Structure 1
Amino acid sequence: MEISDFLFPKYKVAYIHSTANMQEALDMLEKTQYTAIPVINEEGKYVGTLSEGDLLWKMKNTSGLGFRNLDIVKVFEIKRRIHNESVSIKAHFDDMLHLAADQNFVPVVDDNQIFIGIIRRKDIIEYYTRNITD
């Protein structure tokens, strides 16, 4: 089995650019109903995962920051508390499974570290549930 068998491609993934502002990130999370999304930089490389909690902590710890001025803070300025490790599309399947045990999704990158999609833990569980034989 290959990592690519489980790839949820980038064009289907909700993600945010590191240069986007906090309001855009909040809107994306609200629209998708996700609690965390991948962050990519201007070169298309995966740089981390942004969570709802990260946004709340930034608001709490930034004097004068509120819902009316979230556009002044860029995503790259927000400390991220979740670090979803990425995996190469060419990595061993077991390496991806190891990461998926601790992450809701595993970001997947190509040979140049460009973000190409994610592996969702729920898809792995569904696959194994369908294929378990006694």
Structure 2
Amino acid sequence: MKNILFFLLPKRDVVFLNVNCSLKFALEVMEKNGYSAIPLISDKGKYVGTLTEGDLLWGFKNNPDINFDNCSRFDLKDLKLSRRIKSAKIGEPHETILHMAKYQNFIPVTDDNGVFIGIIRRQEILDYLLGDDLQYALHDSEYKV
């Protein structure tokens, strides 16, 4: 299997959010991009978790002070993240990356200091493992999702 960096979508090409942005901004970004999960980073660029649609839903449900009219006054850091989406370091063994991809649509990747540098998408791993022939055969077929 190729080096982990072969699969890396660099941070500059990834939609991510800062923990200090508002719930309203997060909702708008997720809706605009059609994402159900987005990496969260700190002011220092460190990966702190992944925000999911469920986190937003439960945040609204469990906090009676938050509603759609005032959600711009609440920050993501005020939400409890329901799932712990693990990140991988650059030097992770391939087996670890494959195991993580089994449970996560994408794997946040950090450097040795925990700074977010990008993601690895499960789709790229599967495309590589399935090989080019199958990837291209399915690309234009009725089975593509």
For the superposition of Structure 1 and Structure 2, which TM-score range results when normalised by the shorter chain?
over 0.9
Q: Is the 8 A contact 1:87 1:106 kept in 2?
A: yes
- Structure 1 match to 2:88: 87
Question: For structure 1, which runs of at least 5 residues remain unmatched after alignment?
Answer: none
SS of the residue aligned with 1:57? helix
Structure 1 residue 99 corresponds to structure 2 residue 89:
no
Give the whole-Å Cα distance in 2 for the aligned partners of 1:132 and 1:108. Answer: 28
Aligned pairs (5 A) from 1:55-74:
55-74=56-75
Deviation at 1:66, TM superposition (A): 1.1
Figure out how many residues of one structure are paired with residues of the other and give that number. 133
Q: Which has the larger radius of gyration?
A: 2
1:2 touches 1:92 (CA, 8 Å); kept in 2? no
Contact 1:84/1:105 (<8 A) preserved = no
Question: What percentage of aligned pairs have identical amino acids?
Answer: 41
Mapped partners of 1:86, 1:118: distance in 2: 9
Residues in 2 aligned to 1:109 and 1:86: alpha-carbon distance in whole angstroms: 7
Is 1:49 equivalent to 2:45 in the alignment?
no
Q: CA RMSD in A?
A: 1.4
Runs (4+) of structure 1 exceeding 2 A deviation are 130-133
CA distance in 2: counterparts of 1:57 and 1:34, whole angstroms: 17
Contact 1:37 1:50 in 2 (8 A): yes
Alignment match, 1:29:
30
- Alpha-carbon distance, 1:83 to partner: 1.5
CA drift at 1:132: 7.5
Deviation sequence 1:54-105 (CA, Å, 0-9, x none):
1111111111321111111110110111211001011112111111111111
